[in-house]
Structure formats: structure tokens, C-alpha cells
Amino acid sequence: MHARSPRSMKRPGLVLALTALTLLSLWLWTPDVPRATLEARYLAAPADLRQVGPWQLHVRDSGPPGAQQRTAQRAAQSAAQSAPSGTPSDAPAVVLLHGFGSSLQTWDAWAQGLAATHRVVRIDLPGSGLSPPDPAHDYRDERSLQLLIALLDDLGLKRVNLVGHSMGGRIAWTFAAKFPERTDKLVLVAPDGFASFGFEYGKPMAVPATLGLMRHVLPKPLLRMNLKAAYAQPESLSDAVTTRYYDLILAPGARQAMLDRLAQTVLQEPGPLLRQIRAPTMLVWGEADAMIPVSNASDYLQAITGSRVVSWPHVGHLPQEEAAQLSFKAVADFLR
């Protein structure tokens, strides 16, 4: 009887390990969800998918009774006269910009309330929600400003009230600083912009290689664990909300777009731009925000002349969801 060599003894163990790893990878592999499936779940009307310049955007445009019909009639008249498509409705307009990894549904409560008095335009930014990735794979803030100008022109909106949350807040205040002639009032909900962990001014974020695994593997419990940090009240992160985030992050190209957006984000010291803002500005914050602390509000208050802040205890990074009625009332009063 011959003794087995150490090398031959290792081979069965290696084969078993590789087999187990392969099976685990196949079990955890998370494919994209087909667009048709997502549109059936989350698209309110086919017309909400709108071509704006090079972008296809998911846009929900609502407002007081009759406003949209009048806008459509004027747009048809303008088109017949070779004028720019779209004209302003009688109601003042407000544009809502969501944060990183989110979608226009985060504004559901505010949009419903504001639609009684305002034309409410909310969009999924490229590579988010039902908006496909940017055709140029360009997610820099400069590109987002170009998109906003193109959208406002397409809708016939010369001036708007601008509302932005987190990353959308950074886009909103940058727009207000650079295009004061097109900005009426500004609402910043836990806005991004000041350097924090992982970011330095003038340098792109170093995206960990392990984060790239999300393109192939993204278990729903792992996503829920990450989402929890945004909510101070656990019950606010319902199964339905988790499922919506999960579904839309699995849209074709969305995960790569998120990674590209992170890699292309280069923060600049915000003071000089913030001091250029002339629009009346209100900051909205949850005092239990674990992602962008409410202490950051003081930096904005110092930089933006005449700005003010409203905040609530036991509310996290998403006051538009966790304190929907309280925060809506504050914003509605401000916009009036």
C-alpha cells in the first residue's frame, strides 16, 4: 500500500473549494432586471419617458388642474410657429432633484402636495430610476447642469424653484449660483458639497475595487443594510421602499452608472460659488442625519446670504420621506 503524496491529498480539497466558490457565485449573481419589467412597475405613463437632447429621461410633470392641458396647447401652437417646444404653464414651477442611488419616487409626498399650487417637475437623473445611463457616460456636475438647462428649455420654463436632496442638492445650488436668472427660490435638503470622508477638494473619489463587485453581486439584504444608514426611524424603510430601491438599482446599466458617477465626482471648495447665490434659500435637515450631519448647515448659512434652516429631531437623511408632512409644510410655506 502506497502512501498518498501531500500534493495528491490537496487536489480533492482544491476541487471542492472551487466548486463551492462557483456555486456560491452563481447563487449570489444578481442580473439586471429587464426595462420592460421595471416600466410595468414604475412608469406612470409612456409619455413620461422623454427625449431631451442626447438624454432619454424619466420625467413626471404634474400640477394644478388644467395647467398641463394649457401647456400642451401652447406648446403645439409654438411648434407650429417653429418656436421652442414647450411653454410655461400658469402655475409657478418647481423642479425636484433626487440624491445618489435614489429616484423621483423619493418626492412622492411633496409632489402630491405641491401639485395643488405649482407645476411640479421631477426627474430621474441619467443612470438612476427609469432614466437610462448617460449616452456619453459623463456624470460630472457640469454635464448635469447642461441637462437641466436642456430640460427647462424643452419644457418652456424660463425660471423655476429648485429643490435638491443630497447629491441633487449639490447640483441645485451649483445651478443657482451659475444661472441666477433662471432660479427663483432654492430648497436644499441635506445637500452635498463640503468634503467628507473619502473626498478631497479637487480630487476624484478613490472608488474601492470591492465596490465594483456590485455590478455582478448585490443581495437584497446587503442593500437593505446599506439603506438603513439613511433612516433614523427603522419603520420608514419598509419592504416596499427597499424593493423599489433594489429594483431600480438593477435597471440595465444603473450599477455601472453609479460607479462612474462616484469616480467622476470632483468636489471644489464650495464657498466661492455659494456666495454667488442670490435666490432665497432654505435648508431642510434631519437632526439625526448619519450621512451628511446637520452641523454642515452652519457652513451654508454663513455662505448664502439670507438663508435659513429648518430641522427636526429623530429624522435622518431623508426628511422628505421620514417627516413628509412636517417637511412639506415648511417647504410649501417657503415657496409661497
Q: State what percent of residues in the chain have pLDDT above 90.
A: 77
Mean pLDDT of 230-251: 97
pLDDT for 122: 98
The answer, yes or no, to whether residue 150 has pLDDT greater than 50, is yes
Residue 148 banded pLDDT, cuts 50, 70, 90: very high
Q: What is the pLDDT of residues 127-139, one digit of tens each?
A: 999 999 999 999 9
The answer, yes or no, to whether residue 314 has pLDDT greater than 50, is yes
Extents of the domains making up the chain: 35-335
C-alpha 232, offset from chain centre: 19
The answer, yes or no, to whether residue 109 has pLDDT greater than 50, is yes
Mean pLDDT of 281-298: 97
Overall pTM surpassing 0.75 (yes/no): yes
pLDDT for 70: 44
Residue 196 banded pLDDT, cuts 50, 70, 90: confident
Residue 64 banded pLDDT, cuts 50, 70, 90: confident
| Higher pLDDT, residue 330 or 21 | 330
Find the DSSP H helices in the chain: 6-28, 35-42, 67-80, 108-114, 141-155, 167-178, 220-227, 239-249, 254-264, 271-274, 297-303, 319-322, 324-335
CATH of domain 35-335: 3.40.50.1820
pLDDT for 210: 84
Residue 64 main-chain phi, psi, to 5 deg: -60, 155
The answer, yes or no, to whether residue 240 has pLDDT greater than 80, is yes
The answer, yes or no, to whether residue 297 has pLDDT greater than 80, is yes
Find where cell 449570489 sits. 28
Mean pLDDT of 309-315: 98
The answer, yes or no, to whether residue 87 has pLDDT greater than 60, is no
| Higher pLDDT, residue 26 or 63 | 63
**Separation between Cα atoms, residue 84 and residue 106, nearest integer Å:** 31
The answer, yes or no, to whether residue 219 has pLDDT greater than 50, is yes
